[in-house]
């Protein structure tokens, strides 16, 4: 958690993250508590998903340790098919101002309240556009991002 780069030594944040992951995979035991947050960022989505899935699979299958694995990759949740007894999928519960996510209601215009309660399953929606708005990204940029998001979801 909290990897940062060492650019002056030619080590990107992603390389630092991979080095830390390697250390975890080599040194954890069945008595370890492993907490990994957003493994696989910093490379292509496909590589990131593959690395995240493989690392989690290794920890569950070979190390058999207790793991808290935080990810935005929905495909990693498929690990529950391979480990139905020892793996679960949860997300932080939330309320929105619109009951059903819709392309006609931009996500950036929805009010979101995080309830700080873990509930079973994958989150039905994400709120990156809302976070961009809270960070005061220009509204024209958020509007364009919203259009692109709709287009990407359609394809």
Q: Report the pLDDT value the prediction gives residue 50, as an integer from 0 to 100.
A: 97
Q: What separation in angstroms does the CA of 62 have from each of 18, 55, 75, 109?
A: 19, 10, 21, 45
Indicate if the pLDDT at residue 70 is higher than 80: yes
Those residues whose C-beta lies under 8 Å from the C-beta of residue 132, and which sit 6 or more positions away, are 108, 141, 142, 145
pLDDT value at 1 more than 60: no
Q: What is the CB neighbour count within 10 angstroms for residue 20?
A: 15
Residue 113 has pLDDT above 70, yes or no: yes
Rounded Cα distance between 155 and 141, Å, is: 21
- Tell me the per-residue pLDDT of 124-152, one tens digit each, with 9 for 90 and over: 888 889 889 989 999 999 999 999 999 98
CATH code for residues 1-88: 3.40.50.300
Cβ-in-10-Å burial (0-12, 13-18, 19+) of 32 comes to: middle
pTM above 0.85, yes or no: no
Q: For residue 120, is pLDDT > 60? A: yes
pLDDT digits (tens, 9 = 90+) for 71-110: 999 999 999 999 999 999 999 999 887 655 554 555 556 7
pLDDT digits (tens, 9 = 90+) for 18-53: 999 999 999 999 999 999 999 998 899 999 999 999
Top-confidence residue, 39 or 8: 39
pLDDT given at position 126: 84
What whole-number distance in Å separates Cα of residue 53 and Cα of residue 91? Answer: 17
* pLDDT value, residue 6: 73
- Segments making up each domain of the chain, as ranges: 1-88, 89-155
H or E, element range at 112? strand 112-120
* Count of beta carbons in the 10 Å neighbourhood of residue 128: 14
Query: In this structure, are strands 66-70 and 33-37 parallel, antiparallel, or unpaired?
Result: parallel
């Amino acid at each position: 958690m909290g990897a940062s780069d060492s650019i002056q030594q030619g080590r990107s944040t992603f390389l630092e993250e991979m080095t830390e992951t390697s250390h975890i995979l080599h040194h954890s035991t069945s008595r370890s508590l492993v907490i990994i947050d957003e493994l696989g960022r910093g490379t292509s989505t496909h590589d990131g998903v593959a690395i995240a899935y493989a690392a989690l699979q290794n920890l569950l299958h070979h190390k058999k340790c207790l793991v808290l694995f935080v990810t935005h990759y929905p495909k990693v949740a498929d690990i529950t098919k391979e480990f139905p007894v020892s793996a679960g999928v949860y997300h932080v519960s939330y309320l929105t101002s619109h009951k059903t996510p819709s392309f006609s209601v931009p996500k950036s215009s929805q009010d979101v309240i995080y309830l700080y309660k873990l509930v079973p399953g994958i989150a039905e929606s994400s709120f990156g556009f809302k976070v961009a708005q809270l960070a005061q990204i220009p509204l024209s940029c958020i509007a364009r991002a919203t259009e692109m998001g709709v287009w990407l979801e359609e394809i």
